Copies of this chain bind each other. A is one copy, B any other.
Amino acid sequence: MAHAPGTMFELHPAFPATSEAVGDLPLCHARLQADARFAWLVLIPRVPGVRELDDLPVRDRAALVEEVVRAGAAVRAVGEALGRPIEKLNIGALGNVTPQLHVHIVGRRADDPAWPGPVWGFGTPQAYRLDAQDTALAAARTSLGL
> How many A residues touch the partner, as a band?
20 to 34
Once the chains bind, are A58 and B54 in contact (CB under 8 Å)?
Answer: no
Contacts of A118 in B (CB 8 A): 92, 94, 118, 120-121
Interface string of A15-55 (1 = CB under 8 A from B): 00000000000000000000000000000000000001110
Which residue of B is nearest A92, CB measured?
A: B92
Within 8 A of B (CB), among A72-107: 72-73, 88-97
Asked whether any CB of chain B lies closer than 8 Å to the CB of A65, the reply is: yes
Which residue of B is nearest A91, CB measured?
A: B93
Asked whether any CB of chain B lies closer than 8 Å to the CB of A62, the reply is: yes
| Residue positions of A touching B, CB distance < 8 A | 52-54, 58, 61-62, 64-66, 68-69, 72-73, 88-97, 108, 115-118, 120-121
